[in-house]
Amino acid sequence: MVEQTDFAQLVATTSTGMVVMDADGWVLFANAAAAKLLGNKLEYMVGANYDWLPSWSEQEIERSDGTTAVLQIHTAPIQWQGQPTQLLTLTDMSQQQHLAAHTRSASLLGDITRAALGNMPRQRLLQMMADRLGELHHAEGCLLTLWHEEQQTAVLGAAFGPFKNLFPQLLTTNAMPLTSLAQQGNAPLIIPDLQQSRFFSAKLARRLPIRALMVLPLTLHQQHLGAIILLFAQPQIFSSATIAQARQAAEQTSLVLSKEQLLDQTHRHAQELESLARTSAKLRLASRAADMLPSILQLVGLENDAIGFFFLAEPEQHELIVAGWYPETMVVHQERQERQGVLNHVLTNGQIYLTRRLEDDVLASGLQGLTAAVAKAQSNLFLPLHTDENVVLGVLHVGLCAPRDFSSREIRLLTAVAEIAVSAFHRALILESLEQRVEQRTRELAKANEKLHQLDRLRAKFFNDMSHELRTPVTTLSLYLDLLQRTRPDNIDRYVTVLQTETKRLARLIDKALALSRLDLSWEQTVLEHVDLNEVVQAAVRIYRVSAETAVLDLHEHLSPTPLWLIGSPPHLEQMVAELLDNAIRYTKEGGIIITTATDGQDAILTIRDSGTGIAATEVPYLFDRFYRGEQTGQYNIPGAGLGLSLVKEIVTLHHGKIKVSSEVGTGTAVAVWLPLLSNPNAAAAADTSAPNAPE
């Protein structure tokens, strides 16, 4: 029998923690080592209840001072003061556990890094990351979710472990939008015991046999990429070290996903441009309107999931001809439609119209009887077809057979291909009716044919210029993608930053090119209204003040004390001022920009002066040409596409104004814009008139 005095002397100085407790868990004796391991004071332990302690064999705990320890516990029965008790020996396994955890973490991060630099297929890469993350955290399940920005929801990328099939239930459980919750706070969502959390319910417990969760948001540069969802069958103690390790794994995973997303976006944009070019060539060769629909739907990937119609507006009659349909095997009962309902709405307003089932739409009168397939379409898009004279030639109708909405990508591609196809569509319609109108329309056909050739030349020039401007960012992207595959891990962030910059440059180039090409087409449909030039300038200055401050530049505004009322388009005027401010900031290295408004009695005068690099006198006459960029841009490595000032010139011309540039190399540049003032801003009738003539 072990006596109390002998036992106390034996264990007083040992480094192994020892605790004696009775059958109900009350501590009868503890040594200093046990108190230290449990993060408690010795005098507080004796007489306290620790009935939970014997249930462990090895467990990570978090002490009251915030530190953590991994304890290995052995229990043996002994006699203490004549009564049966338990002797618990506590051994600190923290160092061994930390070393093992560090080794596992290093192995995981190494696998992810090697995968990022390799050419592993996307799905295999996602599955590898889910497997490694689940193994690292000893979880019963690991779900790697991807955030679908367009649908604003999470989708499953890959799953690991016996709980991997729970993802659909997690999505449909309204109490647990896990990816969204983690992204909103941009911090780990940690639930040590689900039954003790605000998410718990009896219904949830029946559906999801899990007790603990850790959800790690995947973000990079404030971009939401998804989340890592770790599922545990038992309650957990998530120490600060465990959370820090998980954060590190999430950061590495975010970097890999961002790289994959960037590559996917670049590849997709390149494919779209290539597909648009091929489709444009096919449309120019089409002899009938019906021949164009398969190419258009194939471009968007809807040839097996949609129906399509071309409606031609006859200017001399209040009817529309069904010029073509897809698939051609459909039985069309009415090849003429009254100009009413949704078709008349699109022709009159010149705007895209989206609706679900036509039988539920108040504007869809008459179309249901066209063919049985129209009534069955689950989602419908009506797109106006504009000629270069900004006349709505007809309507393109695309109906989806599946119960879903059109994606933004599908709408974007359909709009782009409609702009490319409209001249070919016009030519095809003329060719179809050539035999009936040859005698009466000879002169009109010759003029239209010449116009089409001119448009083809302009379009070819546009694509040649665009191809030239696209080559630089695409070449840079290819170079850095190749470098990214072969570089060390510490260079990845720098290369990804370059890839993101070039992708944004590519997107800006496309956006400006499309804005320039659409400006003439959309002008007659633009609503003109009373505009105070001072308010337009103030709005632009508010937006670009941050850019100026970031570039350590002064941005001053001196506005006319009285309103400068114009008749014009606020969005176009705002874009004009924004482009001029953006140019001034990008070409000014030190000093500042001064923007002023004034009037000479007839015109409002906007002036923007900078202390930038300046422009040579020989270059000034070419500044407003599309894609023209001066010598200073190459010397100072200033990015751009050469489209900004040409867009400004178009907007000024459409507002019947004029623009002048004066500059001196090394001193700065001044841009002045004259816009006609509204003679009587209080006259209500003035709002319905067109913009006044430009000053002589």
* pLDDT, position 176: 42
pLDDT band with cut points at 50, 70 and 90 for residue 72: confident
Please state the rounded mean pLDDT for residues 75-82: 86
Angstrom CA distances, 286 to 58, 280, 291, 324, 423, stand at 75, 10, 6, 12, 11
pTM across the whole model: 0.38
Q: Residue 687 carries which DSSP code?
A: G
Look at residues 588, 577, 590 and name the one whose alpha carbon lies nearest to residue 659.
Answer: 577
pLDDT band with cut points at 50, 70 and 90 for residue 107: low
Residue 628 reports pLDDT greater than 70: no
The residue written with tokens 């019963």 in the block is 140
Given its phi and psi angles, is residue 274 left (phi above 0), alpha (psi -120 to 50 degrees) or beta? alpha
Residue 675 reports pLDDT greater than 90: yes
Q: What is the side-by-side strand order in the sheet with 306-313?
A: 336-338, 319-326, 306-313, 392-400, 379-386, 353-355
Pick 283 or 172 by higher pLDDT: 283
Pick 586 or 499 by higher pLDDT: 586
> Which range is most confident: 223-237, 330-344, 591-605?
591-605
* pLDDT, position 458: 46
The residue written with tokens 């729970």 in the block is 166
Lowest mean pLDDT among 112-116, 244-248, 397-401: 112-116
Please state the rounded mean pLDDT for residues 189-207: 77
Distance from C-alpha of 476 to C-alpha of 128, rounded to nearest angstrom: 30
Q: Are 523 and 390 in contact (CB under 8 A)?
A: yes
Q: Encode pLDDT of 480-499 as tens digits.
A: 677 777 777 777 777 777 67
Question: In 10 A of CB 356, how many CB atoms?
Answer: 14
Q: Encode pLDDT of 510-540 as tens digits.
A: 666 665 555 554 555 567 788 999 999 998 8
Dihedral angle, C-alpha 314, 320, 325, 328, nearest 10 °: -90
Please state the rounded mean pLDDT for residues 211-225: 83
Distance from C-alpha of 542 to C-alpha of 481, rounded to nearest angstrom: 37
User: Could you give the domains of the chain?
Assistant: 4-92 (3.30.450.20), 97-258 (3.30.450.40), 286-432 (3.30.450.40), 527-688 (3.30.565.10)
Pick 164 or 215 by higher pLDDT: 215
Lowest mean pLDDT among 185-194, 306-315, 419-428, 458-467: 458-467
pLDDT band with cut points at 50, 70 and 90 for residue 695: very low
Report percent pLDDT > 70 for the chain. 67
Distance from C-alpha of 376 to C-alpha of 402, rounded to nearest angstrom: 9
Pick 259 or 342 by higher pLDDT: 342
Please state the rounded mean pLDDT for residues 37-55: 80
Residue 349 reports pLDDT greater than 50: yes
> Which range is most confident: 297-311, 384-398, 570-584?
570-584
CA dihedral sign, ordered 295, 297, 299, 301: negative
By the 10 Å C-beta count (0-12 exposed, 13-18 middle, 19+ buried), 241 is classed as middle
Q: Are 624 and 639 in contact (CB under 8 A)?
A: no
Pick 501 or 298 by higher pLDDT: 298
Residue 501 reports pLDDT greater than 80: no
